[in-house]
Amino acid sequence: MPEGSSVPEDSSGRGAEPVPDGQAAAEDSTKAAGEAAPGAGTTARKRRRRKRSFLVEFPILVAIALLLAVVIKTYAIQAFWIPSGSMENTLEINDRVLVNKIVYHTRPIHRGDIVVFNGDGSWDPGTVPVPGNIFQQFASGFASMFGFGHPGDILIKRVIGIPGDRVACCDAQGRVTVNGVPLNEGSYLYPGSAPSLARFNIVVPPGRLWVMGDNRFYSDDSRDHMGDPGGGTIPESAVVGRAFVIIWPLSRWRILPIPATFEQPALNGSHSAASAASAASAASAASAADSAVDAGLVSARAEPTAQTVPLVLGFAGAIPLTWMQRRVRTRVGRRRRRRRTSADRSP
């Protein structure tokens, strides 16, 4: 028998035909590959499942993110950019601010709040905007998310007087008074800006607000619309929300608090007869604003930004939600498979 061959025995114990070692090795290799095939097939199936899972999960992730983005933008938080200087230096041109739309569902509008509101029907001719029910708001938010619909003439100002307040200018020191209490506005007025060049005296009607810009020389605000219905005030229903933080540029990042002067307890008390008489005499004075200043007045507009903020927040919320729903589906699938297996094994 030549070297390099092996002679396996058949079932009768006799020697079978010699098999070359190379052939035997090939057969052993094929057998080993056959034994390893189930593991390789399992790995391949797992890859295919992961690929199918990604193809299924990614559209779900995008859909959830878009839905959350619309909900956040419509009901919670929206970013606006400032295109004019009538709120300087509190808000400068090209600042981006976040506006809280939830806050006024939990508390009333406060003096000193910086509010974003719809100018359509407030000062501009037209019907006072009505927010509508939650479904109409969602439809409007969805449309504006993709560039459709009419956002309105959106403006931004500081609330000086709330319903029932008597707002007047000016006292002996040239200060704006609310219910006879002078406001110390140096912390937020534009440097060198007087509280007002125009004199006024008005009791804010129910459901309305007296608003002014922080750059009083150039702000087109309640003082310049006293001949309009409402005596220059705006409807509370037109308020979109409260600007509470500057988010861009990063060097300007800061919270927008209510100035300390609006926290005076006396603002909530009734003013004295002497204060009322003083305010009445101030109202009878002629306006000091000349036509040149009036020509330079600008409205403090707030333009909606690109949808980056709600989209980022939407995706941030969609990732854990997608992961949770995937886990739930996986667990439900496992239970169903176990039930089927148990049913197949039962006699």
Q: Which residue has the tokens 């509190």?
A: 90
Task: Say if CB 116 and CB 240 are below 8 A apart.
Answer: yes
Write the CA distances from 203 to 112, 141, 149, 277, 283, integer angstroms.
17, 35, 36, 14, 12
Token readout for 226 is 């006293």
- Measure the CA–CA gap between 219 and 215, rounded to whole angstroms: 6
Start-to-end C-alpha separation, the chain: 58
From 86, 196, 219, 278, the catalytic residue: 86
C-alpha triplet 113, 114, 120: angle, nearest 5°: 120
Task: Say if CB 110 and CB 261 are below 8 A apart.
Answer: no
Q: State the burial class of residue 344 (Cβ atoms within 10 Å of its Cβ: 0-12, 13-18, 19+).
A: exposed
Indicate the residue type of 164. Answer: G
Catalytic-residue membership of 51: no
- Measure the CA–CA gap between 73 and 90, rounded to whole angstroms: 24
From 157, 196, 219, 275, the catalytic residue: 157
Catalytic-residue membership of 86: yes
Q: Which residue has the tokens 């009878």?
A: 284
In a 3-state reduction of DSSP, which class is residue 183?
coil
Residues involved in catalysis: 86, 157
